A and B are shown apart, each in its own frame.
Chain A
Amino acid sequence: MDKRGRLSKFGAGLTSAASSAIAILVGLAVGFIILLATNPGQAVRGLGVIVSGGFNGGMKGLGQVLYYATPLILTGLSVGFCFKTGLFNIGSSGQLIVGAFAGIWVGANAAPWIPAPLLWLAALLAATLAGAAWGAIPGLFKSLLNVHEVIACIMCNYIGMYGVNFLIKNSNVYDPLKNQTIDMTRAAIPKAGLDRIFFSLKGRFLDASSVNGGIFIALALAIATSVVLDRTVFGYELKACGLNRFASRYAGINEKRGIFLSLAIAGGLSGAAGGLMYLAPAGGLRINVIETLAAQGFNGIPVALLGLSNPIGIIFSALFVAYIEQGGYYLQRLEYMPEIINIIIAVIIYFSAFALLMRQAVGAARSRLARRSGKRARGREAGRA
């Protein structure tokens, strides 16, 4: 790439980062207003707790940030990938839970056929494939019957959630005492040494965080997604379909195939999120058999928006959302009701997702600045002459 191209790319990146940062500040400001409104005496301390986020809990807190960011990176990628191709994948939640169940089931039942050290990998693969299959359903409906993907995705969310609840209760992965899935000790994702870094001491006991090697897998998938979108022929086709389907049809791109594959890939990413979430050792998350859609799926939407659908941006926005959520967790120490905390965290995330709006403003400001400095330079030249 020549100098001009690189500079303009760098400039665009700078604009994007600045706009996300401003969006976050606006979100925090609005969150502060709610803190003030609900409990004025503790508002300043409360904001401090939120901003300190994962740091509240020392190294364990930071580890928890990484653990909760892992599925968010993947659901963010899932939604962002579809945004890039002109689709709205609101079905991440269903894909995640279907993937999670497939992963847990394989983890619990495939032991006789698969050597123990590879069991987690097989389970994760199963989760990814099941998620992909679940994402492929709206993909098929859209490409063959022109059913809008939002409708099909929402339907699949509920079918997935109730279906998985039913399957858990009727399979050997159910723990009826806790009304949740059993512990995944044999198929748990390796800790990759992270538990030796992210822990707190409670007296003489190690209080390790649930973070595991899954974060590395999520990071690798983000980089892979970025490469696919920006460097491959496949990504070029998908983005062309998203930006102008008439022109891509004219160029001979198979749009229907693109829609199908795009939703299947997005489903795979969400399924992997489910796998990484629930294939955790003791102390990690379990699927609770309740009639609620998985929040991580929906949080993928603000994560993708805040990251402007850019895979690398999504890594940071997922870390931010997980960090703020940890801040909310520790906000319980002050006298805030859990509901209020949820509202505050939701508001911050919600406003942060306005990054796209900020981007226009920042872009305009940058070009104004550039013009002004250009004028000054011309003035200096004229002065010299």
Chain B
Amino acid sequence: MLYMNNNHDGFIIEMLGITKDFPGIRANDGITLRLRRGEIHALLGENGAGKSTLMGALFGLYKPDEGVILKNGKPVTISSPNAANALGIGMAHQHFKLVHNFTALENIVMGVETTRMGLLRTDQARRQVMALSERYGLKIDPDARIEDCAVGTQQRVEILKMLYRQNEILIFDEPTAALTPRETGELARVMKELAAEGKSILFITHKLGEIKQTARRCTVLRKGRSVGTLLVADTSIETLSEMMVGRRVDLNIQKSPARPTASPLISVERLTVRSKQRQKPLLNDVSFEVRGGEIVCVAGVDGNGQRELAYALAGLIPADSGRIFLCGKDVTRMTARSRNTLGLSHIPEDRQRYGLVLDYTLEENLALKSYFRHPFQRRGFLSFTAMRGHAERLTRDFDIRAAQGPVTRARNLSGGNQQKAIIAREMSELPNALIAVQPTRGLDVGAIEYIHKRLLAERDAGKAILLVTLDLDEALIMSDRIYVIYEGSLTACFEGGKATARELGLYMAGSGNVG
């Protein structure tokens, strides 16, 4: 075999000729990836290009059908995540693998708990975890339950989990998808620090700018094959995106001036939402409106009340006080179903928990909001023919890649394709108003370009769009008006085009001129 004669110096992990088949699809096709000790190596590719599968093979989640993995030049078999851990390989997952009703600390020490006489001892572990948290600036509340933590915090817990296990090879699966620009910068700093200490990092991402900032080398995957590995410093962003998508991508979006309608379609008056446990309101006296034909953005650091705002608007959590109007009707006390029928669509933040029934097929999921209407329902019976037609149309229009077509289980779709399925469903409902929470989270540049164009087209067709995003660039290019949300209140409002990233960032951090 070829690789036997190669020089293994400096490579801590080598994945050689990895091939992995899933029913109906070859996810990895003879991919070779070699990770140097102490480097940050980016893995770039479109949704469904095989990045997660390749990393799954390294982390022991999948057994490759062909190919060898070498660590320090010696072949290893990684049969399970535990085996990977024993080899010093850790992974921060894209969809966090955390126990929801455990605290942050419990999640971090789980599996490697210190015990004395069979009883759990957490004080020493707590000191270690907090020291790590301090040292790398990964702020967490060790006693907060994961289900109460914002996505950004959960991410930090995942990273601390790897560090606590003293892993030397760290896999970051799309770590920045849920982070704010500042948090992203922090993470880049943390990753560089770790690399300087001799840890080797594999960094999966769609975001080309981050690769430029952090990585030394980059391997590009396209449709399950490796397109090449290159030195990041010698490569332009345009080249990277072309290698990834296989065509030129227009990163700058053309936007016509907004022509908003006179009356608002979404109108919120003094909305307040309190949490059950804490005194402090999660959403405090929030008022704003969105007219038809405009995109209004709520920007903010994760965990400042965006989630509650979206859920209260969609009717998933009750409002403690204040009123919500949809198309002129007071919907404050209405159910989620009646709001949907009034023409409200909602792309939720948590796509696996709220957006999809993972064990339903793609076609069943694409009808999740409309199964009870003609033509999907006839005299109480489901029309699978209608559902199939609907699904085939949407998979084509939105380029949802599913191995077995409409009958693929949603669980077996890649993260990006799950997101596309939700967006396809919500847009196909022909909404009057659309709440889009991080609609491009985890999507590749090609898909982001497409989603942005669709959102703008909806805007120009007179729909009201409320965009909740953590991505400052997205907020700046898409919005006609930007509100900054900080600790449950709207603290600033910018008309489109008048805001700068710096200003927004200041308000998001709570240090702008309040008022």
Contact = CB atoms under 8 A, between A and B. Distances in A.
Contacts of B339: 252
Contacts of A249: 316, 336
B434 to A, nearest CB: 15
A154 B336 CA distance: 34
Given A1-B384, A8-B404, A233 B371 contact: yes
Interface string B474-504: 0000000000000000000000000000000
Interface stretch (B37-45, B174-182, B277-285, B354-362): B354-362
Contacts of B404: 4, 8
Contacts of A367: 23
B355 A250 contact: yes
Interface string B356-391: 111110001000110110001100111010001000
B357 A247 contact: yes
A257 to B, nearest CB: 11
Contacts of A234: 380
B383 to A, nearest CB: 10
Interface string B323-360: 00000000000011111100000101010011111111
A76 to B, nearest CB: 22
A231 B382 contact: yes
B336 A250 contact: yes
27 contacts: A1-B388, A4-B405, A5-B405, A232-B381, A233-B371, A233-B372, A233-B376, A233-B381, A233-B382, A239-B360, A243-B357, A243-B360, A244-B353, A244-B356, A244-B357, A244-B358, A246-B353, A246-B354, A247-B368, A250-B348, A250-B354, A250-B355, A251-B369, A252-B335, A252-B337, A252-B339, A371-B21
B314 interface: yes
A243 B410 CA distance: 12
A117 interface: no
B65 interface: yes
Interface of A, secondary structure class, is: helix
A232 B382 contact: yes
A10 interface: no
Query: Which residue, B23, B338, B348, has most C-beta atoms of chain A within 10 A?
Result: B23
A240 B360 contact: yes
A374 interface: yes
Interface string A356-375: 00000000000100110011
Nearest to A366: B23
B356 A247 contact: yes
A247 B355 contact: yes
A166 interface: no
A250 B338 CA distance: 12
A242 to B, nearest CB: 9
A27 to B, nearest CB: 27
A5 B407 CA distance: 6
Interface string B392-421: 000000000000111100000000000000
Query: Which residue, A5, A232, A370, has most C-beta atoms of chain B within 10 A?
Result: A5
Interface in A326-385: 367, 370-371, 374-375
Contacts of A375: 65
Given A250-B314, A251-B368, A370-B23, 4 more contacts: A243-B357, A243-B358, A244-B353, A254-B335
Interface in A72-103: none
A52 interface: no
A244 B350 CA distance: 13
Nearest to B22: A367
Counting from the closest, the 4 A-B pairs by CB-CB distance are A252-B337, A250-B354, A252-B336, A5-B407
Query: Which residue, A234, A246, A374, has most C-beta atoms of chain B within 10 A?
Result: A246
A229 to B, nearest CB: 11
Contact of A250 (B316, B359, B377): B316
A216 interface: no
Nearest to A231: B381
B407 A240 contact: no
A200 interface: no
A239 B361 CA distance: 12
Query: Which residue, A4, A8, A249, A250, has most C-beta atoms of chain B within 10 A?
Result: A250
A254 B315 CA distance: 12
Contacts of B340: 252
A248 interface: yes
A250 B368 CA distance: 9
Interface string B5-43: 000000000000000010100000000000000000000
Interface string B63-79: 00100000000000000
B359 A243 contact: yes
A236 B407 contact: no
A231 B376 CA distance: 11
Given A8-B407, A244-B353, A244-B358, A236 B23 contact: no
Nearest to B358: A244
Interface in B282-338: 314, 316, 335-338
A244 B348 CA distance: 15
A236 B364 contact: yes
A375 B20 CA distance: 12
A1 B356 CA distance: 23
A375 B26 CA distance: 12
A1 B387 CA distance: 11
B351 to A, nearest CB: 10
Nearest to A374: B21
Contacts of B368: 240, 247, 251
Nearest to B377: A233
Nearest to B364: A236
Contact of A240 (B338, B348, B357, B381): B357
A187 to B, nearest CB: 33
A4 B380 contact: no
Query: Which residue, A2, A231, A247, A254, has most C-beta atoms of chain B within 10 A?
Result: A247
Query: Which residue, A2, A236, A246, has most C-beta atoms of chain B within 10 A?
Result: A236
B395 to A, nearest CB: 14
B223 to A, nearest CB: 18
A371 B65 contact: yes
Contacts of A247: 353-357, 368
Contacts of B369: 251-252
A371 B21 CA distance: 8
